Chain A
Amino acid sequence: MISEHLSPWVWFGLTFGQILLVTVILLLATAFLIYGERKIFAGVQMRKGPNVVGPFGLLQSFADLGKFVIKELLIPDGADKVVFLLAPLITVTLAFGGWAAIPFAPGWVVSDINVGVLYLFAASSLGVYGVIMGGWASNSKYPFLGALRSAAQMVSYEVSIGFVIVTVILLAGSMNLQTIVAKQGGGFWHWNILGGHGVLGLPMMLVMIPMAVIFFISALAETNRPPFDLAEAESELVAGYQVEYGSTPYLLFYLSEMLNIFLMCSLFTVFFIGGWQAPFPTPFLAHWPATLASLFGFLWFLIKTLFMFFMFALVRAVVPRYRYDQLMRLGWKVFLPTSLVAVILVAAYRVFVPGV
């Protein structure tokens, strides 16, 4: 967050530098997240996982990167060339763009906008375009079926994600992500998953824990992750919308999938488990220098987000794939009514319970 009283060009330069920094760190982090996910996946199946390139296989992702980049770029005959190449670009742009509003630590956010929640919601709901455009432009049956499936799936689960986010906004009273996190300070009993208002709010965890679970499952569906990876179900659609992609465009799809998953993990952290807040009261931070306090906050944010990522990776390894009609049933007939009732309950609690 930069002061707005600087001259425009200095402001532009500083913001550009911040964006570059976040992008590079995210790219590096993604490389090791992919490695970590493969290790977790392998661990569940009692395999070793990547272990050849570099110490403990740590450089596996970089080897994969090299392999993807030097492969030949194939564009299928009859494909819509521009849209075909635009689809992965849009996907990866949106995946990076979402990170602009994520508060990493106190004061550490690229763009501290008042409608941060809506911005992130928009960024995640636009992800469907990459899938649809990629599927359609491939001019092939399997990608097209995969794209149609995933369009319906992502639009359906956006609805319940939206309502879950509304409950969080109601609890925090703000759509600014920094404010949402700041309101959850003072120990884990202030976190939104446990009601968000200290001891007085604890009864609300009866509503907010299910909301957190719904958000988690909807996030899996929104990012096309197993058990909801019907857009690319290999037993039915070979690889869905990605069938015709290879080389760097495929790499971009894969990269943005990982980035979206990590974004969803950090969103869960921000919305429900206190973002950069430590799980215990931190009055001593007032005496610390601001940078050190921010680093302390960033550490907690990282720990929580990595824990959520571990959960995401574990779900992929242990849960079998859903059937399509079951997926739709879950989204429309279970999550939508539940989250709708929760919105009413949280709103009533905010209006009628004094002192919160």
Chain B
Amino acid sequence: MALQAIAFYLLAAVTIGAGLLVVTARNPVHSVLFLICAFFSAAGLFVMLGAEFLAMLLVVVYVGAVAVLFLFVVMMLDVDFSALRAGFVRYLPIGGLVALILVVEIVAVSASVASHGAAAGAAVLTPSHDITNAEAIGRVLYTDYVYFFQAAGLVLLVAMIGAIVLTLRHRAGVRRQNIAAQVARTPATGMRIVQIKSGEGLSE
């Protein structure tokens, strides 16, 4: 148990420390890197809870894909730091309000978990030891919650189509490669043989 406690406090401390550095780091790229560090430690905490499937999903989806795009955008942005700092006092009240609401919510959730959830000795949701994580989630997700699952999929589809529609533009006069046309070219369509009389040239 001692090893587990050490691992937990280490991961928790790194998560919180990285989270703090995300908002305090001067360089936005460093912020994103600390965010990735926080994701990673959170995945470690999931592993400690025995939820290895969720941990891997967190790493694959958030670290492997979302954060890469974050980094991609932040690196290409030309961020003006003085302009960022100028608005600090103006946005302090609304930012503080959001932070306050979040803190209240976290406290409420923790309190309810402590009094009614797993911490209070309520039944643990994992069905049994010989069913793997992924199987346990799959059995619930594709039976009891299949409509919600499908609805979530539809929402994502709509969002994806929306993003494509918003960014797609067809510019006129752009030469595009037509690979089928290139492959279908034959000597008959691709070239012509012309006999030119000497001294006359070719009138086009």
Contact surface of A with B, Cβ cutoff 8 Å: 8, 12, 80, 83, 113-115, 118-119, 121-122, 125-126, 128-129, 132-133, 136, 144, 148, 151-152, 155, 158, 175-176, 325, 329
Contacts and interface: CB of A to CB of B under 8 A. Distances in A.
Contacts, number: 69
Nearest to B63: A126
Which secondary structure dominates chain B's binding surface?
A: helix
A184 to B, nearest CB: 20
Q: Which has the most chain A C-beta neighbours within 10 Å: B30, B52, B63, B179?
A: B52
A155 B65 CA distance: 7
Nearest to B3: A8
B64 A115 contact: no
B36 interface: yes
Given A125-B64, A152-B72, 8 more contacts: A8-B3, A80-B27, A118-B60, A121-B64, A122-B64, A125-B60, A136-B29, A155-B65
Given A132-B68, A148-B72, A158-B65, A126 B59 contact: yes
Interface residues of B, number: 26
A175 B135 CA distance: 10
Contact of A151 (B36, B72, B133, B177): B72
Contact of A118 (B53, B72, B179): B53
Closest 6 CB pairs of A and B: A125-B64, A118-B56, A122-B59, A114-B132, A122-B60, A115-B56
B13 interface: no
Nearest to B71: A132
A98 to B, nearest CB: 12
Given A83-B33, A115-B52, A118-B53, A158 B133 contact: no
Which secondary structure dominates chain A's binding surface?
A: helix
20 contacts: A80-B27, A113-B52, A114-B52, A115-B52, A115-B53, A118-B56, A122-B56, A122-B59, A126-B63, A128-B64, A129-B36, A132-B71, A132-B72, A136-B29, A148-B72, A151-B71, A152-B72, A155-B65, A175-B132, A176-B132
A121 B56 CA distance: 9
B65 A133 contact: no
Interface in B64-94: 64-65, 68-69, 71-72, 75-76
Contacts of A158: 64-65
B23 interface: no
B57 interface: yes
B10 interface: no
A231 B101 CA distance: 45
A230 to B, nearest CB: 16
Contacts of A148: 72, 75-76
Contact of A125 (B3, B65, B76, B132): B65
Contacts of B57: 118
B76 A128 contact: no
